[in-house]
Amino acid sequence: MGRGTAKALGYISFGLAVGFCAGWLLGRKRADISGIKNYEAKLAVEDSKIGNPAALPPALSASPRDSKPRQISNVDLLKKLVRLEKTNGIWFNLQALVRPKNHRGYQISPAFVQLFELTPTEEATLNQALDDAGKQQYALELAHATSRLEDNGQKVVIDVPAFPQDGGKIYDQLHQTFATTLGPDRQPLFDDFADQQVENSLDNFGAEERTITILRKTSPNGSVTYSTQYAETGANGTATGNGTFFDRAGLVQYFPVAAPVLPADY
């Protein structure tokens, strides 16, 4: 399985909702997960077109003599969507990770728990693995990062060079935990839906060099905001982004590497 290089900028807070994209126009269209069950009949019809006519939802598969319709599991539904993506070019997205308030790292989202049918023990195992990987990643960032002050101390520039070998070891260990926990039935689904998100959330495990620029601004009424610019450079070029934070706590939650280098009165 390949390692992604594109960066989905993770410091904007995401909601807990899950989005699925399903559409039948020329391009790719989104469909909210709240309506995903409404598409089961359509998905099953598509199954019949791609050589799996037996996998029909209750509305199409139950005979008049069936007292109870067969229920499709969430994992089986994900498998259907993967087949549609590969055969019909339909794109959909699962938000696999969330960043809880006052928590430095990422955790498995409630939607991931539900759709992958995780047990409480499996959920705890994966969350612990994410925490451990985040701590190791943070330690490597601190060890490699350099910083400087500009504009009379109002601007902080942080440079983090790439460390792909050390970061790759963290990735391999984390991926092995997911593979062991999910097993051969669900692991391929994780690779399709969530692996790239995990890489992005952990800054691609040091595969790319990063520059974070933070500018402190004080309004006439004395309120302080922090404007940020972000650049990540790798084999596929440079990805950039920007954001605004209204307190220091929020800033360092999304950029932990900034915490030890910001001036005390910043």
What count of Cα atoms within 13 Å lies in the side-chain half-sphere of residue 219?
Answer: 7
Token output for 246 = 């209204």
The widest CA-to-CA distance across the chain, in whole angstroms, is 80
> How far is it, in rounded angstroms, from Cα 264 to Cα 246?
17
Asked if 248 contacts 226 with a C-beta cutoff of 8 angstroms, the reply is: yes
* 83 alpha-carbon distance from chain centroid: 21
Q: Average model confidence (pLDDT) for the chain?
A: 77
User: Is it the case that residue 6 has pLDDT exceeding 70?
Assistant: no
Lookup: tokens for 26: 């020329």
Q: What angle do CA 149, 152, 156 make, to 5 degrees?
A: 25
* pLDDT tens by residue, 216-251: 999 999 999 999 999 999 888 999 999 999 999 999
Task: In whole angstroms, give the CA distance from residue 241 to residue 264.
Answer: 26
Q: Across residues 47-57, what is the average pLDDT?
A: 42
Q: Can you tell me the mean pLDDT for 64-73? A: 56
Residue-wise DSSP of 86-110: HHH--------EE--TT-SS-EE-H
Q: What is the mean pLDDT of residues 122-151?
A: 95
- Looking up tokens 């963290």 gives 170
- HSE on the CB side for 70, CA within 13 Å? 16
Indicate the pLDDT class of residue 90, thresholds 50, 70 and 90: low
Percent of the chain with pLDDT over 90: 51
Which is more confident, 58 or 25? 58
Among the residue ranges 43-52, 83-92, 187-196, 241-250, the one predicted with the least confidence is 43-52
- Cα–Cα distance for residue pair 140/136, rounded to 1 Å: 6
Q: Are 203 and 168 in contact (CB under 8 A)?
A: no
Write phi, then psi, for 5 (nearest 5 degrees): -115, -15
CA gap 231, 229 in Å, rounded: 7
Cα 79 from Cα 103, distance rounded (Å): 32
Ranking 16-25, 95-104, 115-124 by mean pLDDT, the lowest is 16-25
Distance CA 156, CA 261 (A): 8
Q: With bands split at pLDDT 50, 70 and 90, how would you rate the model's confidence at 15?
A: very low
Helix axes 164-193, 120-144, angle to 10 degrees: 150
Is 45's pLDDT higher than 80? no
* pLDDT at residue 31 is higher than 90: no
